[in-house]
């Protein structure tokens, strides 16, 4: 390995090197390691190209050749189809030989690997059938086999300067790949950190907005207008409760005659006793809603109309039900229903007035909009904080991967240099 030490000495890797210097040092090492490769390679490329053309021509000759007339029918039967297969594979092989223009060791090595792999099965995988083609076309087959052998010889000559340096080449290739990986990781890390910085700025802005909105909400709740709104709201609830109690009392007042009215309605529907339109309206109104009946017209007239029906036709209701119904109707007639009606109307008026006053106030809308804004911004902040947490976890993962790549790079460089190496990763030259 003395020759290798001499070559590496010419492209010597210093014991301390910055990350950005590695590419240039490895380029110098490659030039020293494969000095003279370029001149020989150009010449061999030309010879390989000539052999490639020869292969194409001989393949055409094989395709157009006349078969040996002395061959047996069995050989002809096997040989002709296999010639077509052989021609197809040979043309494919010739087309796949893409001679490069560059002469560096990476290009040469890649070209060699691809081409030598294609030469492994130039006739497909049916080598045993070549003998039938050779029997029919011996001269053409011999010329083709000669071209293929020459191609292998030239490829081996092409790769000869690299032979024995495979491990070093592997390390050089690995270093190039690791360097690119490190550059990509650094770039991704930079982007991710910039993203986190932007997220933190946005989080700060959202927190500031929440704080501003919360101050505004406190100012609303502590202000005089909000106090007036709450007082009106309390008043409205009180009035509505009072109205509900009153309407419940009204319903309870008329409840005792509901059975009697329902029976009269049924008799009217069956034709047993036909009511006048006024009587029917009175009964239906009270049964449907005594509250509405009280509010729409003179409920006293309705009650007198119903009383007259019951008194006029004794057979309509049984004695006990009749007396009970008449007694309660008389009780209702003695009550100041007009006062109850007036009280209800006054309550309704006060409720509508209070609602109008509340609807004219913008303070509730302002408060609700502020609260909705706080909820919305909090949602945005939560979502952004989750994204930031994911980004930070990704940064930790990338940094661990970067550390591992840096370790692999150091190991590969030390194998190439044969000594301990210190790489300054954060120094820009």
Q: Is the pLDDT of residue 39 over 70?
A: no
- What's the average model confidence in pLDDT over 316-331? 73
- Residue 218: φ, ψ to 5°: -65, -40
Q: Where are the domains of the chain?
A: 34-164, 245-363
pLDDT of residue 128: 62
Instruction: State pLDDT tens for residues 244-275.
Output: 888 888 777 777 777 777 777 776 777 766 66
pLDDT of residue 206: 94
- Residue 88 CB neighbour total at 10 angstroms: 14
Instruction: State pLDDT tens for residues 379-410.
Output: 999 999 999 999 999 999 999 999 999 999 88
pLDDT of residue 7: 40
Instruction: State pLDDT tens for residues 54-94.
Output: 999 999 998 888 876 776 777 777 778 888 888 888 898 99
Return mean pLDDT, the chain: 82
- What's the average model confidence in pLDDT over 345-353? 88
Q: What is the largest CA-CA distance in the chain?
A: 141
Would you place residue 129 in the very low, low, confident or very high pLDDT band (cuts 50, 70, 90)?
low
Of residues 313 and 424, more confidence is placed in 424
- What's the average model confidence in pLDDT over 323-338? 76
Would you place residue 208 in the very low, low, confident or very high pLDDT band (cuts 50, 70, 90)?
very high
pTM: 0.56
Give 206-212's long-range contacts (Cβ < 8 A, gap of 24+). 206/377, 206/380, 206/381, 206/384, 207/381, 209/377, 210/374, 210/377, 210/378, 210/381
pLDDT of residue 24: 82
């Amino acid at each position: 390995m003395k020759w290798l030490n001499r070559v590496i000495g010419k492209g010597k890797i210093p014991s301390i090197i910055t990350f950005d210097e590695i590419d240039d040092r490895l380029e110098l090492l490659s030039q020293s390691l494969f000095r003279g490769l370029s001149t020989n390679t150009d010449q061999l490329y030309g010879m390989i190209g000539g052999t490639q053309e020869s292969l194409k021509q001989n393949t055409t000759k094989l395709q157009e050749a006349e078969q040996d007339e002395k061959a047996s029918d069995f050989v002809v039967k096997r040989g002709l189809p296999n010639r077509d297969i052989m021609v197809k594979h040979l043309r494919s092989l010739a087309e796949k030989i893409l001679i490069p223009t560059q002469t560096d060791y990476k290009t040469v090595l890649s070209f060699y690997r691809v081409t030598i792999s294609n030469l492994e099965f130039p006739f497909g995988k049916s080598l045993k059938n070549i003998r039938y083609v050779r029997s029919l076309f011996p001269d053409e087959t011999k010329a083709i086999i000669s071209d293929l052998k020459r191609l292998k010889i030239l490829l081996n000559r092409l790769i000869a300067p690299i032979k024995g340096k495979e491990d070093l080449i592997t390390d050089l290739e690995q270093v190039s790949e690791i360097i690119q990986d490190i550059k990509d990781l650094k770039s991704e890390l930079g982007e991710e950190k910039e993203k986190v910085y932007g997220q933190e700025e946005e989080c700060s802005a959202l927190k500031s907005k929440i704080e501003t909105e919360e101050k505004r909400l406190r100012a609303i709740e502590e202000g005089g207008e909000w106090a007036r709104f709450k007082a009106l709201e309390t008043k409205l609830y009180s009035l509505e409760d009072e109205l509900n109690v009153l309407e419940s009392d009204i319903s309870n007042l008329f409840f005792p005659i509901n059975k009697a009215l329902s029976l009269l309605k049924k008799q009217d529907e069956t034709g047993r006793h036909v009511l006048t339109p006024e009587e029917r309206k009175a009964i239906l109104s009270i049964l449907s809603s005594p509250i509405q009946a009280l509010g729409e017209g003179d409920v006293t007239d309705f009650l007198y109309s119903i009383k007259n029906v019951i008194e006029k036709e004794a057979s309509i209701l049984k004695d006990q039900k009749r007396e009970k119904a008449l007694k309660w109707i008389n009780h209702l007639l003695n009550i100041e229903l007009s006062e109850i009606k007036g009280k209800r109307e006054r309550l309704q008026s006060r409720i509508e007035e209070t609602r109008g006053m509340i609807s004219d106030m913008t303070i509730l809308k302002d408060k609700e909009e502020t609260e909705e804004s706080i909820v919305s911004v909090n949602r945005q902040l939560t979502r952004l904080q989750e994204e930031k947490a994911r980004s930070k976890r990704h940064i930790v993962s990338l940094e661990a991967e970067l550390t591992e790549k840096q370790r692999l790079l150091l190991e590969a460089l030390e194998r190439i240099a044969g000594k301990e190496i210190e790489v300054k990763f954060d120094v820009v030259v």
